[in-house]
Chains A and B, each alone.
Chain A
Amino acid sequence: AQKVTQAQTEISVVEKEDVTLDCVYETRDTTYYLFWYKQPPSGELVFLIRRNSFDEQNEISGRYSWNFQKSTSSFNFTITASQVVDSAVYFCALISDNYGQNFVFGPGTRLSVLP
Chain B
Amino acid sequence: GAVVSQHPSWVICKSGTSVKIECRSLDFQATTMFWYRQFPKQSLMLMATSNEGSKATYEQGVEKDKFLINHASLTLSTLTVTSAHPEDSSFYICSARDAMRPGTDTQYFGPGTRLTVL
Contact = CB atoms under 8 A, between A and B. Distances in A.
Interface residues on A, range: 20 to 34
Interface string B23-39: 00000000010101010
Interface in A76-108: 91, 95-97, 100-108
B105 A44 contact: no
A43 interface: yes
B32 A43 contact: no
Contact of A106 (B1, B43, B91, B103): B43
B3 interface: no
Contact of A101 (B32, B42, B93, B112): B32
Interface residues on B, range: 20 to 34
Contacts of A33: 103-105
B44 interface: yes
A91 B44 contact: yes
A47 to B, nearest CB: 8
Contacts of B44: 91, 103, 105
B111 interface: yes
Interface string A54-74: 000000000000000000000
A102 B46 contact: yes
A45 interface: yes
A45 B109 contact: yes
Contacts of B104: 31, 33, 95-97, 101
A37 to B, nearest CB: 8
Contacts of B95: 102-103
Interface of A: 31, 33, 35, 37, 43-45, 47, 50, 52, 91, 95-97, 100-108
Given A101-B104, A103-B36, 8 more contacts: A31-B104, A37-B109, A91-B44, A95-B107, A96-B104, A100-B46, A103-B44, A105-B45
